[in-house]
Amino acid sequence: MPDHTAATDELAYDRRRLRQYLAGEARADGVERRTLLKLLAAAGGAAGLGLGAAAPATAAGPGIVKPLPAELFTVRGTNAESRTASWQGAGFHTPLDRFFVRNHTSTPLLDQGNWRLKVWGSGLRHGKASEFGLDDLRRLPAVTTEALVECAGNGRSYFTTQQGEAVSGTAWGLGAIGSARWRGVRLRDVLHRAGISRDAVDVQPRGLDAEYTTADGANLGRVRRPLPVAKALGDVLLAYEMNGEPLPADHGHPVRVLVPSWVGIASIKWVGDIEVSDTPLYSPWNTDFYRLYGAAHPPAGSAPLTRQTVKSAFELDHGAAFPAGRSHTLTGRSWSGAGGIASVEVSTDGGATWRRARLHDSARAHNWVRWSLRWRPERPGDTHLLARATDTRGRTQPDRTVHNTQGYLFDAVVRHPVRVVEGG
Ligand SMILES: Nc1nc2c(c(=O)[nH]1)N[C@H]1C(S)=C(S)[C@@H](COP(=O)(O)O)O[C@H]1N2
Ligand SMILES: [Mo]
């Protein structure tokens, strides 16, 4: 029998992949041999060298199609961060007009009539490729999944502003996340139709957006990242609708991959082909990027990132003003990649005392909960609001996140600055 189930343990799986690479059984197009050798050194327990990960390219302006009004977004290079204040009263799912956009290059304009998905590779029976149009996908059973998409770097700026640590990458606040109702087909159904063989080990979707070139000029090719076959045959969707509408251009029109609870990079937008391989695959997005590097991590990095951490955000801008001597309702959202949220505590005095927030949604995996708390500040002055969530697995947000050079998976309690002003 093929060993599909064991492969969800990404660390063990990664070690196996590395051994296969060493044995000449794995392919790593676009990954420098130097990088792989460092990973191999680490897997073998040898001391490695610090890894100089490529910095993301910066472009002149965002190649994003939808309007980016300042009340909804903060533009960061090729990306647009959703303002958490714009989530207040906006419903459980993030309206499409304020859903964050993370683009390595820019949004391609694809015609759904001409779009084809090619499924190919050594992991198909007889090595025979197949093609699917959007109509072909629509004829397969439709599935709806409610799930967050969150960038692995969400909250990255707090490594610097709160912990005084240097990190590379887009300086997101907490708005590199959105929730949607996704409709599409199971990737599993497409892989079975394409004739996935029992020998398949990796499934690598690739986007149709432009090839990505780093700041130092290295062309890494099209955005792509392998999924272990066990995950690809699990809860992964090929989504063609978002909140009841055809997938918008910026979010992957006409079809994107949706991997619930995993780091956003797994959810490849504008998918054009999927390689099914009987040998392990590497891409820069599971080697140089999306691993934890730094003093507290293995010399050549952690296993590739999969699940997201626990976070909480107030639906407020930094520096929001509250009149003293009056009662206010503070609102926010908390979420976890490891399950639903069980409880949220809030401090309005910089962390000295904590009260339980009222939760407005039930705990559900892949989704956030909205919460609220009454607050009556007595005296004018600057203060910090803090929110600390615990998920259904019992994981609570820590006071500090262990540093990693690329600023991934920030999960510490954020100190949100606000001003209490003279009540009029
Ligand atoms: N083809 C392609 N897919 C991609 C990306 C990209 O640049 N190109 N960015 C990834 C990253 S890093 C994230 S966080 C999510 C963002 O999804 P969104 O822009 O729909 O919010 O898409 C992922 N899929
Ligand atoms: Mo991301």
Q: Tell me, what's the pLDDT at 61?
A: 57
Which of 267, 273, 290, 409 to mutate to test ligand 1, by most ligand atoms within 8 A of the CB atom? 267
How many other C-beta atoms are found inside a 10 Å radius of the C-beta of residue 228? 24
Which of 102, 224, 250 to mutate to test ligand 1, by most ligand atoms within 8 A of the CB atom? 102
How many other C-beta atoms are found inside a 10 Å radius of the C-beta of residue 111? 8
Per-residue pLDDT of the chain (424 residues; tens, 9 = 90+): 333 433 445 555 565 565 555 555 566 666 665 565 555 444 433 222 222 233 333 334 579 999 999 999 999 999 999 999 999 999 999 999 999 999 999 999 999 999 999 999 999 998 899 999 999 999 999 999 999 999 999 999 999 999 999 999 999 999 999 999 999 999 999 999 999 999 999 999 999 999 999 888 999 999 999 999 999 999 999 999 999 999 999 999 999 999 999 999 999 999 999 999 999 999 999 988 999 999 999 988 999 999 999 999 999 999 999 999 999 999 999 999 999 999 999 999 999 999 999 999 999 999 999 999 999 999 999 999 999 999 999 999 999 999 999 999 999 999 999 999 998 7
> Does the pTM of the predicted model rise above 0.85?
yes
Domain 73-286 fold is Sulfite Oxidase; Chain A, domain 2 (3.90.420)
Residue owning the nearest CA to atom 21 of ligand 1: 101
**Backbone angles phi and psi of 404, in degrees to 5:** -140, 145
Euclidean distance between CA atoms 335 and 310, whole angstroms: 6
Bridge-based pairing of strands 271-277 and 116-120 is parallel
H/E run at residue 378: none
Domain with CATH 3.90.420.10 in the chain: 73-286
Structure token pair of residue 224: 């792509």
**Cis amide leading into 280 (omega within 30):** no
Domain 311-421 fold is Immunoglobulin-like (2.60.40)
List residues near ligand 1 (CB under 6 A). 99-104, 149, 151, 178, 207, 209, 223, 251, 264-265, 267-270
Domain with CATH 2.60.40.650 in the chain: 311-421
CA distances (Å), origin 335, targets 72, 95, 346, 358, 411: 21, 18, 15, 15, 10
Instruction: Please tell me the number of the ligand nearest to residue 99's CA.
Output: 1
Give the rounded distance of the alpha carbon of 158 from its chain centre. 17
Residue owning the nearest CA to atom 18 of ligand 1: 101
Q: Of 33, 2, 24, 37, whose CA–CA distance to 276 is shortest? A: 2
Residue owning the nearest CA to atom 24 of ligand 1: 268
Euclidean distance between CA atoms 205 and 226, whole angstroms: 7
Q: Which residues pair with 359 in a beta bridge?
A: 371
Euclidean distance between CA atoms 90 and 73, whole angstroms: 15
> Contacts from 234-238 at CB under 8 Å and sequence distance 24+?
234/8, 234/188, 235/145, 235/259, 235/260, 236/186, 236/187, 236/188, 236/260, 237/143, 237/145, 237/182, 237/184, 237/185, 237/186, 237/187, 238/117, 238/137, 238/184, 238/185, 238/186, 238/187, 238/190, 238/271
Contact 389, 339 (CB under 8 A): no
**With 0-12 CB in 10 A as exposed, 13-18 as middle and 19+ as buried, what is 418?**
buried
Euclidean distance between CA atoms 294 and 401, whole angstroms: 13
CA-only gyration radius of the chain, Å: 22
